[in-house]
A and B are shown apart, each in its own frame.
Chain A
Amino acid sequence: MASFNARITMPAEAKAGEIVEIRVLVRHPMDRGGQVDAAGRVVPRKILNRLTVTYVGEPVFRYDMHTGVSANPFVSFTTRAVETGDLLFEWREDGGATFTRTARLVVT
């Protein structure tokens, strides 16, 4: 299994009040469970079930994912630039593992 990997694309800088688009691509097989692998074993369900995004501590976006979300999922959403600070992205995987990434937005 490959390591978790995320590509977060957003402007590094924005004017106060400006709406910025945030694009997130993440590497994950999103195993929906029930398939049979090459060795004949049934693959258990293991998906990222939630992405939560906070911006300087405030929740700004949440994505609840079920088995109908593609492998290596892409999502884009928007947020209003209010102050310079970190956006924290946290993914939760079935079984309880979490993965986090941060991206800084400078507000001018």
Chain B
Amino acid sequence: MAAGAAGFALAALPASTQAAAPPALAELIARVTEGAVPERSKISFDIPQLVENGNSVDVAILVESPMTEADHVRWIHVIAEKNPFPDVARFHLTPRSGRADIRATLRLATSQKVAVVASLSSGGYVMADADIVVTLSACIDGG
């Protein structure tokens, strides 16, 4: 699908119908930043390149920020572009967090690009992304 057509679909249809043609990562990001393009800086995103099992994937996110009233991270949003529901999680922080330092366990449906976007109190956004490969374990017993 052409980018223009995808953009139109995004604007015109309710969220649930977008699964039919997964929007590109840039569009998924634009949706949480209200159109702003995040800077690729100040954020480190640690996720295994080779995921041992997509059921539980460890991620660690660290944003460089003084975490003061004047200058802090408001939230960090995780997007997995090929998950059935690409918005995976959002962490809301405050100046009292002291650091913007998060670890969590996520579920990744398949090999894909995963992005983290942080919203800053200044109004700007920063982001990082990573390509991951979900490997298959040898013995899947289906319960």
Contact = CB atoms under 8 A, between A and B. Distances in A.
A108 interface: no
A76 B91 CA distance: 10
B80 A68 contact: yes
A80 interface: yes
Interface of A: 19, 21, 23, 30, 32, 38, 55, 58-80, 82
A52 to B, nearest CB: 9
Contacts of A82: 96
B96 A60 contact: yes
A101 B90 CA distance: 21
Contacts of A78: 97-99, 101
A55 B104 contact: no
Contacts of A72: 56, 105
Interface residues of B, number: 30
Given A66-B89, A75-B102, A75-B104, 5 more contacts: A23-B103, A65-B89, A66-B87, A73-B104, A77-B101
B124 interface: no
B25 interface: no
Most B CB contacts (10 A, CB to CB) among A59, A62, A68, A80 go to: A68
Nearest to B60: A76
Given A78-B99, A80-B97, A67 B84 contact: yes
B96 A79 contact: yes
Contacts of A75: 91, 102-105
Contact of B107 (A19, A61, A67): A67
17 contacts: A19-B98, A38-B143, A59-B94, A60-B96, A60-B97, A61-B92, A63-B89, A64-B90, A66-B85, A68-B107, A68-B108, A69-B107, A73-B104, A73-B105, A75-B102, A80-B96, A80-B98
A11 B18 CA distance: 44
Contacts of A59: 94
